[in-house]
Structure formats: C-alpha cells, structure tokens
Structure 1
Amino acid sequence: MTTLTTARLSLVRWREEHLVELLVLASDERIVRHIVDGKPWNREYATERHRSVLAHWRRYGYGWRAALDSGTGEFLGVASMTYRDAGTIELGWWVAPAAWGRGLATEMATAVRDEAFRQPGVRRVVAQFQDGNDASGRVMAKIGLVHDHSEVDETQAGRLVHVYVGHVPTAD
C-alpha cells in the first residue's frame, strides 16, 4: 500500500523529495537528542540514511513514511517500519516539534503497527527508546506493546534503551 490514512494524517511512501524534510528534522536537537548519540545529523549522514530508506522500500516494499496533515499536506513527521529479521519489523516515529502534544505519535505508531502486521510472515513488532524519552515509552504502551527488556546498547552510543514488543493478534 502506498498511502496509509488515519483520522488526521496521510502517511505516504518515502520519496526522493522527502530528503529536505529529513534534513530539517535530523538537524533539530529536540528531535535527535534520544537518537544514537544525541547529536544532530550532518547533511552527509542524513543523505546516506535517506538513500538507505529508499533502498529499503525497493527491497522490502515498506519502510519510512512521510506523515502529512491530511487537510493541508503539511509535513508533520516520519513513521517507520524497518525489517529486522524474518518475522520482525521495528517501528519508529518522529514528530515535528511544532506538532507535539497533539497525539500524532500515537496515531502514526498505530498505523504502522497495523500495517506491519499485514506484511506476510510478520509475527512480531519491536520498538525501542533511549532512557529519558518517556513520551515514546508511553506511545509504545498505548499501542499495545509491552516492555521486553532494557539494555545498554553500543549502537546507541552506549546508552540505556528500553525495548518493547508486540505480537500478531490472535483470534480468541
């Protein structure tokens, strides 16, 4: 599916033109303070990530989505689904600071969670947040993910991360 829609958002497939928005978000300290080492991304690194996101779409048929206001088309953030292993997709989201406090992260996360479970063979979703980013932890709980474990993650600059997991819903 190319576009996911929610009550307020159109979540569109990540495209070449979204690099501009990624550069803005990734250079904002408020956005990246809980990503990897907490430092803003330089243009080279953001462009490299952008290219890898486009390649991910080509390989798996899903990936990052630009979150657009369904009424105005304004860019409001990123919702992501990233292949982790056979049967597992990692979820993520960034909301532009101007749109904070409106429940958009939960709306984005719910949409990509549901889309992830529609992917063939996917049985589990994971999401993680760095210690101190309690807002992301609340979103994970709101969408039905449960805390699995916490660990110091060397790929996150040795920071403590909390990993949440959700499994494909089963019929009772």
Structure 2
Amino acid sequence: MRLEPWADAHFECFAAFMRDLDVIRWVRRAPLDRDRALELHERSLAEWDLYGFGKRAIIERETERWLGFAEISLVGPGKGSRDDDIEIGYFIEPGRWGEGIATEAALELRDEAFGRCALSELVGRCRVENVASARVLAKVGFRKLRLFELQDGAVVEIHHLRREQWAVAERGSLGFEDAPLALGGGYRETG
C-alpha cells in the first residue's frame, strides 16, 4: 500500500466511504451527507497548506484500489486531550479489516510525524469498544493514558507516544514495551 497526500481525486471515494455504516460506527453517530463530506474534504486540503500534514488516501499498490484513509491532524477542543494535541487516525475499508493495513498506515504516519514533521508527541484516540484500533496503537508504540467521555456519551481511550520513546525503539536498543514511559514530561490532561 501507499499513502497519498490528500487531493481532489480522493473526494468521491471519501464521500462514499463516510456513508458506510460499518466505517462510521467507530467515529460518528450518523453518516456524512455530501455537503458535510465536501466541507471536511476541503478542510483536509487546507490542513496540508497550514500544517504540512493531514489526510492521506490509502491506496493498494497492485490494484490502485482505495483502501481508506489515514491522517495526522489536530485533535481540537472537547475530545479528551489538549486542544493543540496532534493525533494519528486510520480508517480502513471494512472488507479489508484484519490485514494489517491500519498498522502499516499507523507506522508510516508515526514515523512521518516524528521524522519529517519533527513533532514532540502524538496522541491516538479510539472508542473503548474498538479493541482492534487500540491494538494498532499499542503495536506502533502508544500507551493508554486514560478514558474520556465525549459530549455525545461515547467513551474513548486516549493513547500517547512521545518522540523520545519512538527514538529509543527506533534505535533498536529496546522494544516499545521496554522504552521509558515519559508521561511526566509535561503532558497535562485536559478535556
């Protein structure tokens, strides 16, 4: 698979994808209508210009087929972490769940965030019932920080990874499970 920076060519697949009930059950209460999908698409395009990162389409190399999308993005207010936290997310076609696509995408995003983007930390969020997503975050080095109840009543797990933990594991001297837990490094939890 490859991750392509977000472009207008991805809109139709994104709009259809965000109407799929199996996809959205983990991230929103209702499917996106076309106008809201277009609004989010345009915001995604702007994020690349503003921040130098954003959504990426996940494309299967052999077939050029859309497999979903992944992103590095600002969390924003009311979501269980600091408003200026940056998170990774991954959204895969349901028929392809369990194939390691989310893990591969998350690894690439994590490495880009700490490498090219030079970020100092990342968060990952998932609903508590989305055990597979929590497993992906753990595989790529995140540690569960806490639970948070959103305004709509959904409970999400907040996961965290610091650049130092990534760097230690990348050097190969320790696995992520052995890397020092560095949450005391100024992470202040807010809602």
Instruction: Give TM class, smaller chain.
Output: 0.7 to 0.9
Larger Rg: 2
Matched, 1:95 2:86: no
Which residue of structure 1 aligns with residue 124 of structure 2?
127
- 5+ residue gaps, structure 1, are 1-8
Which residue of structure 2 aligns with residue 36 of structure 1?
28
Aligned mates of 1:134, 1:100 — CA distance in 2: 12
TM-score by length of 1: 0.87
Aligned counterparts, 1:76-155, within 5 A? 76-84=67-75, 88-154=85-151
Aligned mates of 2:11, 2:98 — CA distance in 1: 25
Which residue of structure 2 aligns with residue 21 of structure 1?
13
Q: Secondary structure at the match of 1:161?
A: strand
Identity of matched residues, %: 30
TM-score by length of 2: 0.79
Aligned mates of 1:118, 1:170 — CA distance in 2: 10
Contact 1:87 1:121 in 2 (8 A): no
Matched, 1:164 2:155: no
What is the CA-CA distance between 1:61 and the residue it aligns to? 1.3
What is the CA-CA distance between 1:44 and the residue it aligns to? 1.2
Matched, 1:58 2:67: no
Structure 2 counterpart of 1:105, which letter? A
Aligned mates of 1:120, 1:108 — CA distance in 2: 16
Structure 1 segments, 4+ long, off by >6 Å, are none
Aligned mates of 2:89, 2:51 — CA distance in 1: 16
What is the CA-CA distance between 1:105 and the residue it aligns to? 0.6
Structure 2 counterpart of 1:165, which letter? H
What is the CA-CA distance between 1:64 and the residue it aligns to? 0.4
Aligned mates of 1:87, 1:123 — CA distance in 2: 12
Contact 1:146 1:165 in 2 (8 A): yes
Structure 2 counterpart of 1:21, which letter? C
Matched, 1:73 2:73: no
Q: Secondary structure at the match of 2:62?
A: coil
Contact 1:88 1:123 in 2 (8 A): no
What is the CA-CA distance between 1:69 and the residue it aligns to? 0.7
- 5+ residue gaps, structure 2, are 76-81, 174-191
Structure 2 counterpart of 1:57, which letter? W
What is the CA-CA distance between 1:97 and the residue it aligns to? 1.6
